[in-house]
Structure 1
């Protein structure tokens, strides 16, 4: 970090000269332009340091944005590199923060490995001048290729609570947390509380169980995996995956049921009343929708005649 401050800034003339060399594929020019603007990444990362992502991760993401800016920078368009690069750096950081905000919190040991992958990706991007593939990242971090691919997917895609769960797959994970379409304050509070329960449970699970839950239900946003796929990933049988999955789900259900039992009778009555109201509103909406479709169908029939 101290070395960054010692690197001199580029003059406008140097920016133009280096940009021309970079277009010709000069790696030394590319490296110099990147290093001369790393302090900009640090400055922008500080502005986003209170949003929950580790500072080093912010810098890693910002560096990738800077590298993309350097590759695309065209001084003939009239803008300074710092102005142009700032947009790319901010976009990269904002994307990382948005992805983090959309995912259910993962156990600390997984977060640390994801952070390691991010740092290695940024370092390889600078070294290779392109986005590194999973094999290259695997060698850099000392993890199996399939694990790198899985952790990248977990960290970059939004969580889904609509994934079918259980043996019959007639229930989804959202059913364990309550109706997310509820609009009353009471229901909102219950949903938030139950999501927190899931987060707490995930943070207490060992790496294998947390990954099984994540893979089976797409908690990291990737497509849910079958029992066979998860079994192949861990080298265990389909039946063993099912047993582990059901044990975890039972623990989640037990905690949710315990939370429900702690509600007062007034809260239960209020919830039941709100459910009845919602049912009536849904019935009215459905009726209006049916009537509207009937009117449109009638109009279309008249037009055809």
Structure 2
């Protein structure tokens, strides 16, 4: 067996995926006794060579599982690499005293890593985050009997079978039927009704030059207002501030009572003060 376990160029599934699969299939399968002996060496003595041999002897098993996810349009080499990560995690946690073969224990870890990879890369936006959504994502396509939209009865049957809500089945069907759009896609067909998102999602108000101009104008207006108010006498300034620059604005009668003058006199003072402020700000 040892000659089959030497480091080889094919051990990373890359461009030559066929050579990798051929190499993985060439490694001998361990007998139950050999597997247990290696597992005990790893579990009790942390024998890394035993761990390596356990991993290598199960590479063909990962290839077999990864091939079942080919329908998601992702590279088989990437699926295999993710599955191998799951296999290594399983080998690290495998307890030979449980009385099960490594392949039975590892299947969960291999599938879990591949599932995470598929969910991260199938679409730009992750289509499944909850447990129910994950279950639907990996089972709904197989449960559908045709490419047509599900009827209410079909959706209910699938929901009952998977233990989820009918609304969740319908929502996942819509997500699976959708597709990613190119942000700045351009077409040579002038009559095409499609518009790239870049043409209508631009926020015109987010122009840095415009924002800077608005901020500068606001600061300038504030400074002019402050200077204009400072040029007023104390009573006129208080009338303007009380009437226009506070949340709880005072009435003419409130100010008349404060300064012991008529409301008409307050109105005249306010008018004259506003005229002075306007002239000062325009200067």
Which one has the largest radius of gyration? 2
Fold shared per TM-score above 0.5 = no
**1 or 2, which has the higher helix percentage?**
1
* TM-score, scaled relative to structure 1: 0.37
* TM-score, scaled relative to structure 2: 0.39
Higher relative contact order (CA 8 A, sep 6+): 1
